[in-house]
Amino acid sequence: MGTGGIARNSRLLVIAVAIATLLIAVHSVVSQLSGPKVYDPGSTEVSVEAGERFEIRVADGAADGFRWIIAAPRPDPAVLKPAGNHLEPDEPAPSGKGGTRYFDFEAVGEGRTDLRLLHCRRCTTGDADAGGADGGRSINFRITVG
């Protein structure tokens, strides 16, 4: 008769583990479907939590020869880590060249840092001029990680 309690406890443990696994799976699916928060140039004050991923979206017309870069000085790597970028072409693509550029970031640790995106024609990631000689423009963001 003593083994009946062990079997019941084992079943309860299996059920608890199954429920926990299901909740984790649901959370993962919802997180992937909802995707990271997206900020536009009008949202220059960005507040996120450590570990959170987010994107900054800018219009990108590659046909004009200009491109967006993360300008110097680079954001504090203890606060913010760049995680790549990607272009989503316009639909339907009138010229096949325009679209929206998304810069991906991961909030690393608590603090504040500045992020500057530079739209320039002949530029490198070390460019610090807010436009330079080629007539580019820049967008400044203040990132707060809590």
Is 90 exceeded by the pLDDT of residue 124?
A: no
Domain hosting 73: range is 37-145
Cβ contacts of residue 112 below 8 Å, gap of 6+?
79, 142, 143, 144, 145
Residues 45 and 4 in one domain: no
Counted domains in the chain: 2
**Cβ atoms of residues 60 and 95 within 8 Å:** no
Q: Which of 49-63, 88-102, 112-126, 127-141 has the lowest mean pLDDT?
A: 127-141
Residues 15 and 45 in one domain: no
Q: Which of 17-21, 60-64, 69-73 has the lowest mean pLDDT?
A: 60-64
Residues 106 and 119 in one domain: yes
Burial (CB count <10 Å: 0-12, 13-18, 19+), residue 131: middle
Residues 78 and 89 in one domain: yes
pLDDT tens-digit map of 79-96: 999 999 998 887 765 555
- Work out the average pLDDT over 106-111: 97
DSSP state of 76: P
- Say which residue, 7 or 111, is predicted with more confidence: 111
